[in-house]
Amino acid sequence: MERDPWDYPEWHGFNRETSLAAGLICAGVNSIGRANYADLGDYYVALFGLANGIERLGKLIWVVDFRTTQGRSPTDGELRKLGHKLPEIVNAVRAIDRKCGLNLKYPYPDDDMTRAVLDALTMFADASRGRYANFETISGASSPHDPVIYWWSHVVEPILATHFHGTERQKRARRDAAIVDALIGKDSIVFHLDESGNRISDVARGSYRTSENELAQKYGRFYTLRIVRWMSEVFAKLTAPISGPNGDPALFGHHEVVGTFVAPDHYLRNRKRWPL
């Protein structure tokens, strides 16, 4: 006789937690796709959603593997031993990936950009650094751990070096900035701070920065989603085969929630609204 997953409290826990992880990640990538110097708030929403969403998805994978190998869910104390640091959680998922020989279509993107993204998200998630940096500043001591400055210098500047500098797009951005300046520069007052904390005081610089922002949004989203895609495929590979009538009813169907992230590169680069 088939078992109804709804009869298992564990199924509902997995369902809520998977939905939460996916929702946080979607909020994060949607915000990083809007973030720009004129509204830095989107950067903080993005970093919060991504850091927490990736952490929770990684922990779900760890719990699924524990449940499969131990025949039970981990205790609260056992789960707490995994901690909150993203590099350790990602390494735990990589170990599970290798142990299970999952043969993924989208394997772990082991490159400098992945390390840069994880480093920036880890810095933000650290309560002694990025997470409460604004409160440090409010308290009167400028924080040396501003997460937006860190994201720009560690993630965006390499993106610009790869996808913008020396390209026709950069030439066009310079030309457009000069045209805008010639048209309205003398009649405009501009006052903004860019992501590095430098003043933008003329329309030419604002126009050029807007072009940089377009690349920062597109590829910041892309390189982050590559990590999420890998984790989502790991989660699907671990849960889908063992959640049928003869498997673990608590795992039934949850892979569909994160299936939206298992998509080809051109979707990750160009899709602006998530989920698909």
Residue 12, pLDDT score: 96
Residue 64, pLDDT score: 96
What is the mean pLDDT of each successive set of 10 residues along the chain, which is 276 residues long? 78 97 98 95 97 98 95 93 93 97 96 98 90 86 88 98 98 98 94 94 96 98 98 95 71 94 97 93
- Tell whether 60 is covered by a domain: yes
Number of domains comprising the chain? 1
Residue 249, pLDDT score: 87
Residue 1, pLDDT score: 36
What is the residue range of 85's domain? 9-152+219-270
- Tell whether 144 is covered by a domain: yes
Residue 128, pLDDT score: 82
Residue 170, pLDDT score: 98
- Tell whether 54 is covered by a domain: yes
Residue 245, pLDDT score: 57
- Tell whether 187 is covered by a domain: no
- Tell whether 17 is covered by a domain: yes
- Tell whether 24 is covered by a domain: yes
Residue 243, pLDDT score: 55
Residue 276, pLDDT score: 83
- Tell whether 114 is covered by a domain: yes
Written in H, E and C, the secondary structure of the chain is CCCCHHHCHHHHHHHHHHHHHHHHHHHHHHHHCCCECCECHHHHHHHHHHHHHHHHHHHHHHHHHHHHHHCCCCCHHHHHCCCCCHHHHHHHHHHHHHHHCCCCCCCCCCCHHHHHHHHHHHHHHCCCCCCCHHHHHHCCCCCCCCHHHHHHHHHHHHHHHHHCCCCHHHHHHHHHHHHHHHHHHHHCCCCEECCCCCEECCHHHHHHHHHHHHHHHHHHHHHHHHHHHHHHHHHHHHHHHHCCCCCCHHHCCCHHHHHHHCCCHHHHHHCCCCCC
Residue 244, pLDDT score: 56
- Tell whether 157 is covered by a domain: no
Residue 90, pLDDT score: 98
Q: Please classify residue 153 by burial: count the beta carbons closer than 10 Å to its beta carbon, then call 0-12 exposed, 13-18 middle and 19+ buried.
A: middle
